[in-house]
Amino acid sequence: MLTPLAIGLAVVLDLFVAFIGVRFLLAPRPAAAGYGVPAKPDGDRAYLTVKGVRDLTYGIIGLALIAFVGVRAEAWFMLAVALVPLADTLIVLRNGGTRAAAFGIHFATAVIVLLSAALLFAA
């Protein structure tokens, strides 16, 4: 019973991260505002593209691990990738974003990703 829940949460998280990546590629300025640090009106396009590619890639890698390698590999991936939202928390705090965005979006995401890793290890 735990395995379907663990895999389901991991798939949802992977799809969500891929969606965020696509959003940064297609609508970078609104995506940056949602991230917690709005983009400068006259620049930042390259950095927003890098973030989009990074997130899309992480989502695809996570899905590929579940599909082709297995639950244990996805668990290790989730454990490692939890560093990204933790770092994003600090990035938002250090660049003028609100504490609500830093902790309510990014830190909360890190906690959910770590929970996903724990469920996958237990499955």
Model-level pTM? 0.92
Q: Quickly tell me which residue has 């724990």 as its tokens.
A: 118
**∠ CA(116), CA(119), CA(123), 5° rounding?**
135
Please state the length of the chain: 123
User: Which tens digit of pLDDT belongs to each residue from 62-105?
Assistant: 999 999 999 999 999 999 999 999 999 999 999 999 999 999 99
Residues 31, 38: Cα–Cα separation, whole Å: 8
Q: Quickly tell me which residue has 């735990």 as its tokens.
A: 2
Residue 40 CB: number of other CB atoms within 10 A?
A: 11
Per the rule left: phi > 0, alpha: psi between -120 and 50, beta: everything else, 96 is left
Q: Domain tally for the chain?
A: 1
Q: Which domain holds residue 53?
A: 2-122
